[in-house]
Chain A
């Protein structure tokens, strides 16, 4: 199975700062069709996860442009510029290239 390792486990931030989360895969996430199915989700306290980014860098409908996904192969990053209160919660990366699909362990974005 593909293992997704997220770092850091917790990211203390000050509102208005930038935050960066890394997701490293145990193998390349490039599909045989050329696409890379790496997604990012945010789970706010007491809520269901919500999709932020799909296929590495595409923002889902309604997601602010302060969320930027990047990376390739097996190394991916989610950057959040100018963190706002509604950005706090647990971020998960997820790969849909290989079966079984797998989630990273999560990164908690919290206030300093």
Chain B
């Protein structure tokens, strides 16, 4: 059974760095073709893809966030991480992590999401 769960700070101030953790089970990020992605959704709005990390440590980012993103993984502890530097109110959203596979490109299992508020 594949499960993912996001965790984060809840609230942070503008200009700080947002650190998110995705803890998963039921698959391994050392398995060929496996990946984890991060997607966010401001309240009442649509979905925005942020980044993917793959089993071979290949990483892809959404350039709209202008080099503020860093994705990483800890394979032995079944975790993936996302950092967003220099946050502002526009980064207020629910952040999801999801499993993806190279064969489909799809996010087949999603976490429940974690709400992050940026406010002074």
Contacts and interface: CB of A to CB of B under 8 A. Distances in A.
Query: Do A and B interact with each other, yes or no?
Result: yes
Interface of A: 1, 35, 37, 39, 41, 43, 48-51, 54-55, 58, 60, 92, 94, 96-97, 99-106
Interface stretch (B10-18, B26-34, B43-51, B78-86): B43-51
A54 B106 contact: yes
24 contacts: A37-B104, A41-B107, A48-B96, A48-B110, A49-B39, A49-B107, A51-B108, A51-B109, A54-B108, A55-B104, A58-B104, A60-B106, A92-B46, A92-B47, A94-B47, A94-B107, A100-B60, A100-B61, A100-B62, A101-B52, A102-B49, A103-B46, A103-B47, A106-B47
A97 B105 contact: yes
B110 A50 contact: yes
A104 B46 CA distance: 8
Interface of B: 39, 46-49, 52, 60-64, 96, 100, 104-113
A62 to B, nearest CB: 11
A49 B47 contact: yes
B106 A103 contact: no
B95 to A, nearest CB: 11
Contacts of B39: 49
A98 to B, nearest CB: 11
B106 A48 contact: no
Contacts of B47: 41, 43, 49, 92, 94, 103, 106
